[in-house]
Each structure stands twice: as C-alpha cells, then as structure tokens.
Amino acid sequence: MKDEIMFPVYIRSFGSYLPKRRVTNEELSKTVDTNDEWIRSHTGIGARHLAEDHEATSDLASNAARDAIERSGMNIEDLDCIVVATATPDHNGFPSTACIVQHKLGLKKIPAFDITAGCTGFIYALEIALAFMKDSHMRNILVVGAEKLSSIINWEDRNTSVLFGDGAGCAILSTDESPRHSEDRSIRKHKKPGFIDSLLYSDGSGYKHLMVPGGGSKNPIFGGEVNIEDVSLHMDGRKVYTFAVKAVSDIISELIERNNMQQEDVDWIVPHQANSRIIQAASKRLKIPMEKFYLNIENFANTSAASIGIACAEMQAKGLLKAGDVILTVGFGAGLTYGGNLFVW
C-alpha cells in the first residue's frame, strides 16, 4: 500500500560541485588559436572548471549530492532513488553512473539509473522523478546532472574546446514538509512549493548537428589506432544556435501561456548555460528583460546536463531564491532535445 503523500512534490534543495582546476580564456589561448576577447564576444565565457584525469563523472555527481544533502537538512539514507542525467558516463553504459553514485554514497536497495538527453538531461530527469513520486511510495529522489565533457573534447579544435567545462548540479525532490510550506506567500498565486508544469520535446532530424561520431553500436571501436576526431564532440554551431534560440523562445512562451500566466508572474528564468548570445536573442524575441534570466556561463562555460542544476544551486547559496518564487527552467541539447520546467520554490 502506498504511503499517503501529504505535500506536493517540490524541490527541497539544490547542490553542486565544480572541480578545483579553473582554466581561464587566457590560459586556454596558450594552446589553442584563440583569445579572451573572441571567446567572450562570441559566447560570454570567461573561464571553465576541468576535472583531473583521476576524477570521473560519478565523483562529480557524488560530491554535488553531498552538497544538496547538507543544504536540505536530511540524511543520505532518506533517499529513495537516484537519477543521473549525463552524456559522459563513467563507462559506456555498463554499469550506469547512477549505480556507481549510489555505491559511493553508501546506499543500498534503491533504484538508480541514467538517462541521456544531452544538455536537456536535467529537465528530463526532473520530470521523470516527479512521475515516479506521484505514483509510488517514494518521498525523496536525488536528480543529478553531471558531466566530464573534457573527456570527449578535442583540445586542438577551437570551435568546441572553448565552449565546455566539467561539473555537477543536482536537486532533491521531496514530499516531506519543509519550512517553506509555512512561510507567508499570501500575495502569491501559487502558495506552496511544488511543480506547476513541464514540457519535454525532441527533434531527431537534427541529431547530426551535435554528436560524437565514433563508438556505440553504429560505429564501434575495437583495437587499432583511434582517430581523435571520431571520439570527440562535433557541433554544427550555426544550426545549433538557430535551433536553440527558437527552442528557448517556444518553451518559455508555451509554459507561460498554457498555465494562464503572464511574463511578470515568473520571477526567474534559468536557462541552460550554453551561450549568452542565445539567451540574449531569445530575450529580445520575447521582449523579456535580461535581468530575469540567471546566467553564470562566464565562470563555468557549458556544463551540459549539469548547467541548470549548478545555476540553481548558486542562486540558492546567494539567497536569490525566495519562498514562493516562480522559477522557469529551459534547456536544449543533443538529440536534438529541448524542454522546460515550471515550479514554485
């Protein structure tokens, strides 16, 4: 028999972890034909964090999970499930990175699994966890977006090497009571913390625009000399940019309109941190001021499925998230996938 859920599913806390090594544009320009001015003007990126060779995606994810647990005031043993969104698993799918995270956190007899939805992975994972909690006995689920993108980057390719960083961001979804349930939100339309809506979409016709061509069942690599271009991330920047601007604009508009809201009802928009020019273009198209978008790409670059979780954790740490705030997340990535979540903090 399922336990009765007393409170709606809400995000109890965020967490994050960034590797200690920080690489600035100036440092990168010593090995790649580029410079700080070009990178900043084209992407908005100033630096990125890169994992050490011995650090795996599961290490980043585990550290982010511990950060979220500490902020939540709960115990690790209270977790009922782990969902990890990643495009850079510890191993090629066997075992799942989530299972390794489960082991590193000292947990047993709970489900743990990976999902792959590119940079939209965190948004997909939140909706999957939400569905689990609505139809099961689970009360606390850890959702992690974690990436070691440096492991699939060709560092001689200036078109991709300047764009990405490593890190992990996570959220704990809960149905247990939190202090935010009792705080005064009398002036807010949505009075309790919880999810309002989500959108998940994909357009498989654009799968070649962002991919690693080698490896996998289509082009397996067994023995012999491996060409670095075959095992590195490739991106058609122009086509991804065009897709991303439309995807961000469409998701924001649809989430607001189908929930009978106005742009003013949304306190923060937290986009996938891929390129500041994409967000600026969407902001102009929607006539939403840039001040409503939270951006930290300057310090962390594009961390794929980790970026939204990292941004939200930073907002929580800075005290920017207030009880009753309406938050809209929006992402896009390989697949091509795109989507968004709308929730009350």
- The residues that are catalytic are 119, 272, 302
Are the C-beta atoms of residues 22 and 48 closer than 8 Å to each other? yes
CA atoms of 252 and 246, how far apart (whole Å):
10
CA atoms of 299 and 19, how far apart (whole Å):
12
Candidates 197, 259, 196, 193; CA nearest to 7 is: 193
Going 205 to 211 to 213 to 214, the CA torsion angle's sign is negative
The strand ranges marked E within the chain are: 10-17, 22-24, 47-49, 81-85, 112-115, 140-147, 167-174, 194-202, 210-211, 234-235, 268-271, 326-333, 337-344
CA atoms of 295 and 276, how far apart (whole Å):
8
Are the C-beta atoms of residues 339 and 5 closer than 8 Å to each other? no
Candidates 244, 163, 238, 232; CA nearest to 203 is: 244
In sequence order, the 6+-apart residues with CB closer than 8 A to the CB of 55 are 19, 148, 166
Candidates 237, 238, 213; CA nearest to 226 is: 213
CA atoms of 46 and 40, how far apart (whole Å):
6
C-alpha distances in angstroms, 35 versus 6, 29, 150, 162?
55, 5, 19, 10
